[in-house]
Amino acid sequence: MKQIQKILFPINFAENYEALLPWVTTFADKFGATLYVLYVTQDLEEFASFHVPHGNIQDFQAQAVKAAQEKMGATAKEFFKHFPKLQTRVAVGKPAEKILEVANQEGVDLIIMGTHGRKGLEYTIFGSVCREVIRGASCPVLSINPQKV
């Protein structure tokens, strides 16, 4: 049987990631895996070409990272306290790229993530982080639509 020692669970605080927790728990418990919970905040430096003073963007970025770290701490206490092997991370950048980067750096065996099931114009505008991760991952990706669990 394939051993899964490290699981990456990228979350977006705005989405219904709690619905995926039974799946994450099942896999983590079954294999005694280390669970990496990752939140990626957008890199605001991408917007530096707008007429916003550069210092303001850096300050706002620092505030966003600090707020995300605080939210991650609260989330870990509320939803992930029963995981004996837990690593939480907040990263800055493009979500799909950072998810793949962390997965490769940590030698992750499985990525479990939610998908939105976007279609049409919404899909065209926002794209799919999950799709990019599936295409670029060097390990299996379990994608779950949280609204259908």
pLDDT of residue 117: 58
Mean pLDDT of the chain: 86
Give the domain range for residue 60: 6-148
Report the pLDDT averaged over residues 70-87: 92
- Secondary structure element (H or E) that encloses residue 143, with its range: strand 141-144
pLDDT above 70 covers a percentage of the chain that reads: 82
User: Quick check: 125 pLDDT over 70?
Assistant: no
pLDDT in tens, 20-49: 999 999 999 999 999 999 999 888 766 556
Residues 6+ apart with CB under 8 A from 124: none
**Is residue 24 assigned to a domain?**
yes
CA distance 7 to 99: 12
**Is residue 117 assigned to a domain?**
yes
pLDDT of residue 60: 82
**Is residue 79 assigned to a domain?**
yes
**Is residue 100 assigned to a domain?**
yes
Candidates 89, 107, 88, 82; CA nearest to 26 is 82
**Is residue 1 assigned to a domain?**
no
**Is residue 85 assigned to a domain?**
yes
Number of domains in the chain: 1
Q: Specify the CATH number for the domain of residue 141.
A: 3.40.50.620
